[in-house]
Structure 1
Amino acid sequence: MNERPPSRGRNPRDYTVEEAVTRYLDSLNSDGSRKTMRTPLNRFVEFCERHEIAAPGELTSGDIQDFGYELKEDHRDGNLKASTANTYYDYVRAFLGFCVRNEMADQNPAKTDRGQEYLPDDTGDRDAQYWTTEQRTQILNYVTQRLDWALDGKIDVDPDIAYRDRTMVVLLARTGARGAELFNDLKDRERTGVTWGDVDLENAVLYVFGKGRKHNQEVPLPKSAREVLDRWQRKADPPSDDWPIFPSWSYKARRKNLEDEIGSKVVSLRFEERGDVLKTEFLDELLEEYEVAPPAISKERARQIMKQLTDEANIDVDDRHGYLTPHGARRRLGADLYAAGESERAQDALRHNSIETTHEAYSHLNTKDTADTIDEVLEEIE
């Protein structure tokens, strides 16, 4: 590889991560390699910026471990294959090796066991979950029944929570939206969850911060999704467009949002005035008074809710997950559209960059069709 050393007269330690990535890509002989590695390494640059890591020499094995954990989270959410996540990590390790050789860093933290601890195991897509059509029907029926029970007081569940959870399941099942697009990512300050300002019921669109960090990606809202969103919005009556569609009911998290906005001293003084009002109710009153939105539920919390709902609905899920995962709904929707001969509609619904990506994701359906056709032809001949 034709490595070009840092410019003469400039201390290699002064190069930012972004500058170092640019120099590394420039050093590659192949245009194809540059094109392939640019997106993953730009992602690493963004990671470093979010974590306020200015130069390659500042990186530790703990930082690289955090990057590996983000890759694992993306894999868990269905945004990256395990093989892709591991490849992205390999690109970062190669880049940091370049930094060491060109005196921009003393060591390569991506070579350590700690750095690689959280990388997903590359077992292929054999264990990727697809909700079955029956499971989808079961969970949709259950969350509707659960809401009715909550409204009638037959179960000890807050109706607002039942509304929220039903809306969550319907959006997952009917839109193909990714969990990372709907919920709060505690490791990414830009992914704070969808709000009511992101909903356009008239034009049947939900705007999300999509894969590839693209703002305002359009998620189509079929009638079933629009109806539950409209019903939940009228019930929630959010005071502003900043209010999350899937709010957290954690007292600690909601109070922290208020304290971050108006100061902990002001909040403490106001709480001295609450009298006999329950602290949770008083906190909600303050959030509305100061127009401070509560946080959205996290991706992890959404997975916990789906596990709880799967158990309550007595749905048998015989795989390594043991419950209906958020991304399994997206795969089921894509498979249904693809199997119906609507490959381009599947691409649109899943927002794949190319039809090739859609074909690759559902190639097993073509294989099954081919196998069935072989059986039919041979039966006629024999």
Structure 2
Amino acid sequence: MKRDTPMNRVQSTPLTETFERYLQDKGKGRGGNGGNYRRNVARELERFAEWTTGERGSDDWTGIIPTDSDREPTFEELDERVFREYARHLAGDRGLKQNTAQTYYRYLSAWCGWCVNEGYLEAHYAQRASAMAPLPDDDGRKPGDQQAWTSEQRHVLTRFVDEQARDAIEEFTTLPEETAPLDKQRTRYTALKATRDRALVFVLAYTAVRVGELLRDPNDPRRRGVRWTDLSFEEGSMDVYRKKQQWDAASLPDPVIGPLRSYRKLLDPPSERWPVFPTFDQRTLASLVRKELADRGQRPDAIDEQRAASARDLLLALEEDIRPPSITTDGARSILQRLSEAADITIDHPRHDYLAPHGGRRGMGEVLVRAFGYTVAARYLDNSEEMVRERYSHIEAGELGDVATEALDEIDGGRL
């Protein structure tokens, strides 16, 4: 009979009982409840837990506990062979790309290391060479982080949204005086949406700000989206919450100032605390307006009458100073998908069939590196020079190739 010791009691702990504590330690914000890393790791840990019970994997995979047992897998079942099998599962059964398999395994490996520190495991089994052997080679690229807007794509998209905004503003400002109030509101709403989209595209195209620093991230309560109080047109700057977990000023170059000023004039936000890029989602705004007006003491029938008198809940929110949330990072992707299709932009990329937000940042990085070098680009991109050199190494390689060609021409007299 196995003697009951503290170590035995720890080893008999179900794996899933440690997940929440680990995620709190690794999460961001109050209580460790925020952050994309937490969300991604939580998803993979749950998949791992299901796999250990036999619910995932190949048809002949039965899990790591006896088939006649109805308990959850515990730490006493874990060893390097288990992690080796999961690495094989990631590389084969899941059908993942090599980079993605590597990323998911790193999530699991980090949890394994935490479990060692907390006393649940005696060794970091996931890091042993035999456990990692089935993983595919990592080609060094991050999934989905390679698209860069070309100069032509940037020009086509910015020109398209600029024309859309100008046409919408002209239509609104030249309405006949006898135009019905609701028709005026609908035309203003169309102009607001067009000018918001233009401002968003210009900011993403020219500031190189990360989309997660600009808009709301539902998984990180600290990222609520920039507000008008964060912008200074006079100084040409915008305060954003950086990836390095602190507030910092980002540059607003000249091409961005005009679209932002025009959009703000039309929006006329009732306070500086309004988000620069509020959601236009009708369901979200309808629920928000109803709740806020009810909290202010209005009766349901009065609320319905007030909403019926407004063409859109966004316009009513502006009138009543009911502050909506910012659009989310996913919302920005949806907007860019719609605009990329409407602008009929040619896109040749294995992962994205539209101009993704991070592509604007990466495209601006290309421009800066080529024009001013890695040091200036690193400062603008809020990255280390080492990281910028790594991510834009193809530029230096091309320049060195040109130097080599020039040297050969000079020495060999162009005989090649």
TM-score above 0.5? yes
Aligned 8 A contact 1:208 1:217 in 2: yes
- TM-aligned CA distance change 1:149 to 1:95, over 3 Å: same
- TM-aligned CA distance change 1:324 to 1:159, over 3 Å: same
- 1:164 matched to 2:196? The reply is yes
Provide the rounded CA distance (Å) in 2 between the counterparts of 1:188 and 1:257.
21
Who is 2:242 aligned against?
210
Q: Please list the CA deviations of residues 183-212 of structure 1 after superposition, one character each: whole Å capped at 9, or x if unmatched.
A: 221222221211111101111110111103
- Which residue identity lines up with residue 255 of structure 1 in the other structure? A
- TM-aligned CA distance change 1:248 to 1:159, over 3 Å: same
Alpha-carbon shift at residue 145 of structure 1 (Å): 1.0
Who is 2:336 aligned against?
306
- 1:139 matched to 2:171? The reply is no
Who is 2:88 aligned against?
none
Aligned 8 A contact 2:233 2:257 in 1: yes
Q: Please list the CA deviations of residues 329-368 of structure 1 after superposition, one character each: whole Å capped at 9, or x if unmatched.
A: 111111111112332221111111x221221221111111
Who is 1:331 aligned against?
362
Who is 1:256 aligned against?
287
Provide the rounded CA distance (Å) in 1 between the counterparts of 2:25 and 2:151.
36
What SS does structure 2 have at the residue aligned with 1:46?
Answer: coil
- Which residue identity lines up with residue 167 of structure 1 in the other structure? A
What SS does structure 1 have at the residue aligned with 2:28?
Answer: helix
Q: Please list the CA deviations of residues 220-243 of structure 1 after superposition, one character each: whole Å capped at 9, or x if unmatched.
A: 111111222112111111001121
What SS does structure 2 have at the residue aligned with 1:145?
Answer: helix
- 1:46 matched to 2:76? The reply is no
Aligned 8 A contact 2:241 2:248 in 1: yes
Q: Please list the CA deviations of residues 17-53 of structure 1 after superposition, one character each: whole Å capped at 9, or x if unmatched.
A: 8xx87xxxxxxxxxxxxxxxxxxx997143792439x
Report how many residues are paired: 315
- 1:194 matched to 2:226? The reply is yes
Who is 1:227 aligned against?
258
Aligned 8 A contact 2:310 2:316 in 1: no
Who is 1:73 aligned against?
none
- Which residue identity lines up with residue 351 of structure 1 in the other structure? D
Aligned 8 A contact 1:82 1:123 in 2: no
Alpha-carbon shift at residue 83 of structure 1 (Å): 9.2
Alpha-carbon shift at residue 102 of structure 1 (Å): 3.2
- TM-aligned CA distance change 1:220 to 1:267, over 3 Å: farther
- TM-aligned CA distance change 1:148 to 1:46, over 3 Å: closer
Question: Which stretch of structure 1 is more off in the superposition, 368-377 or 145-154?
Answer: 145-154
Aligned 8 A contact 1:195 1:241 in 2: yes
Provide the rounded CA distance (Å) in 2 between the counterparts of 1:275 and 1:293.
16
- 1:364 matched to 2:394? The reply is yes
Who is 1:149 aligned against?
167
Q: How does 1:1-382 map to 2 (within 5 A)?
A: 44-46=26-28, 49-51=31-33, 62=43, 64=45, 86=104, 89-98=107-116, 101-102=119-120, 124-125=140-141, 128-153=146-171, 158-214=190-246, 216-258=247-289, 261=292, 266=298, 268-274=300-306, 277-278=309-310, 280-281=312-313, 284-286=315-317, 288-289=319-320, 291-320=321-350, 321-352=352-383, 354-380=384-410, 381=412, 382=415
- Which residue identity lines up with residue 125 of structure 1 in the other structure? R
Aligned 8 A contact 2:24 2:33 in 1: no
Alpha-carbon shift at residue 248 of structure 1 (Å): 1.2
What SS does structure 2 have at the residue aligned with 1:347?
Answer: helix
Q: Which runs of 5+ in 1 are unaligned?
A: 7-12, 22-40, 53-59, 67-80, 111-120
Greater C-alpha Rg? 2
What SS does structure 2 have at the residue aligned with 1:172?
Answer: helix
Alpha-carbon shift at residue 138 of structure 1 (Å): 1.1
- Which residue identity lines up with residue 223 of structure 1 in the other structure? D
What SS does structure 1 have at the residue aligned with 2:192?
Answer: helix
- Which residue identity lines up with residue 160 of structure 2 in the other structure? Y
Aligned 8 A contact 1:83 1:124 in 2: no
- TM-aligned CA distance change 1:266 to 1:309, over 3 Å: same
What SS does structure 1 have at the residue aligned with 2:372?
Answer: coil
Q: Please list the CA deviations of residues 40-93 of structure 1 after superposition, one character each: whole Å capped at 9, or x if unmatched.
A: x997143792439xxxxxxx9658459xxxxxxxxxxxxxx9699557624532
Aligned 8 A contact 2:307 2:316 in 1: no
Question: Which stretch of structure 1 is more off in the superposition, 42-51 or 301-310?
Answer: 42-51
Provide the rounded CA distance (Å) in 2 between the counterparts of 1:82 and 1:341.
34
Who is 1:118 aligned against?
none
Aligned 8 A contact 2:24 2:32 in 1: no
Alpha-carbon shift at residue 379 of structure 1 (Å): 3.2
Q: Which runs of 5+ in 2 are unaligned?
A: 7-12, 35-40, 48-98, 127-136, 173-186
Aligned 8 A contact 1:199 1:206 in 2: yes
- TM-aligned CA distance change 1:168 to 1:270, over 3 Å: same
What SS does structure 2 have at the residue aligned with 1:340?
Answer: helix
Provide the rounded CA distance (Å) in 2 between the counterparts of 1:147 and 1:253.
24
Taking structure 1 as the reference length, the TM-score comes to 0.70
Aligned 8 A contact 1:199 1:207 in 2: yes
- Which residue identity lines up with residue 347 of structure 2 in the other structure? V
